[in-house]
Structure 1
């Protein structure tokens, strides 16, 4: 269940104090200065997925500051990603100032000073990640704070799309799914940081490899589903199709190619089993997601150099003459 904090029921005179308490309690301790003589109502709706705290904020003009005093009194060290939905935010940290407009996002680090100014009614969604769970160097993160990300291309687009959906559906996730979604969000942030520093090499970061492992496990459990596709796999893991393709590209593979290879390997194994004579080649192909026998035969021949029937005959021949000491050799 989400936690809702609102100053709407209060008088304008009481809203400033209650809003300061709500902001500091939800995020990290900060000074909050409202810019209206009669403050507009403010609302914060919060959910938690695993270790990630998600908050949807709507309020009027204000300035918030995190000072050395706040940092010394609070040992929480969070990475804060904010998706702007309405209004324009001016953010300062690490010697930079950025302007974040609707559809854009930015990163803040609670372990250092920052200042945020919003001169109009606004709404944004923020995501608080424990800093220790983000396996990136401090200097790499420091180089990207108070930076405007447009979310239109590359890893920034993946982050924006995924986080927006994560916030929309947070209330529907059970605890286990929530943890997996939070882990994927961390993977995406690492991917974004590595990409911005030119280190998106052939071996992805450890967290990216973990996402790929989870995807592969899902594929292996669902090889028999003829409708298994990149879009359905991405949906099951709460990631974009583009990000899914990036994961496999890190290994020099494609999603569909990897699925086809696993299906063919399962078919090749089953074709040599005693039950293969009774059920037939087409039934074995269907068992592993190949709905078209002709397509299966062509794919099998392209992969192994012989047809499924030829593979069966070769296996029976070698078994008949006692050559069972090892696996059959591909042509």
Structure 2
């Protein structure tokens, strides 16, 4: 369940003190200076997905500062990604200053000084990742703080789209889905940082590889679902179908070909089990996601050079001892 904190019920005179407590308690110790003589109401709605902390914030003009005093009291540094929805934010860190407008996002590092100026009513969504889980070099992260990412193309677009969707749907995730969504978000951030620092081809490869392994695990858990498809798989992992296909291309595979190979292999094994004769070929095929018996027979023969029935009969006659080495080709 999300946690909602708001200063709306308070009088204008009491809002400044309470807002400072809400901001520091939700995020990290910071100084908050409200710029209105009669502060507008502020609201923070927070959710957690594993170690990822998501907060939707809306409030009136203010300046937020992270000082050496605050950093010394905080032993759990984090990476902060902020997606701006309304208003603009001026961010300063590591000797740079940038302006973030609606539809753009930026990166901050809580282990170093920063300042955020919000001169008008605003709304943004922030994502806090534990710094120790972000396996990138300190100098690479430092080079990208207080930088505007437009979210219009490349990895930045993928990050912006993915994080926005995760924030919208976080409340409906169960624990397992939430952990996977958070891990994918972290992978995408590493990929973005590696790409911007010119390491996409080398050090960024492990990020895509980790994402591919999670996708494969999801497919194996759902092999029996006849509706399993690139679009449903991509949706379950909050990525585009195009990016999903790119992941499989890393191993010279196609999504559909890999799914079919895994289904065929399980059918092949099950057809040799003692109870397979009672179950029947069609039932076994259906159990592993093949809707059409004739289609199953065709792809099985194309993969193994024999029909499912012939394979089963050979197994009964002892032609196969337990199992054989034949494996289908992957497309």
TM-score (norm 1): 0.85
Contact 1:7 1:41 in 2 (8 A): yes
Q: Which residue of 1 aligns with 2:230?
A: 230
Partner deviation per Cα, 1:5-49 (whole Å, 9 max, x = no partner): 222223323322322222222222222222223221111122222
What's the CA shift for 1:107? 0.8
What's the CA shift for 1:151? 2.1
Aligned-partner Cα distance in 2 for 1:315–1:204? 46
Aligned pair partner of 1:327 in 312, 316, 324: 324
Correspondence 1:1-331 to 2 at 5 A: 1-201=1-201, 206=206, 208-273=208-273, 281-308=281-308, 311=311, 319=318, 324=321, 327-329=324-326
Aligned-partner Cα distance in 1 for 2:99–2:178? 31
Report which stretch shifted further, 243-252 or 195-204. Answer: 195-204
Equivalent residue of 2:116, what SS? strand
Contact 1:203 1:251 in 2 (8 A): no
Aligned-partner Cα distance in 2 for 1:29–1:135? 24
Structure 2: gaps spanning 5 or more residues? none
Contact 1:201 1:250 in 2 (8 A): no
Q: Cα gap change, 1:173/1:209 in structure 2, threshold over 3 Å: closer, same or farther?
A: same
Partner deviation per Cα, 1:173-219 (whole Å, 9 max, x = no partner): 34444333322221221222223234334886556544433332232
What's the CA shift for 1:153? 2.7
What's the CA shift for 1:86? 0.7
Report which stretch shifted further, 137-146 or 30-39. Answer: 30-39
Contact 2:234 2:240 in 1 (8 A): yes
Contact 1:107 1:147 in 2 (8 A): yes
Aligned pair count reads: 328
Equivalent residue of 2:200, what SS? coil
Equivalent residue of 2:10, what SS? coil
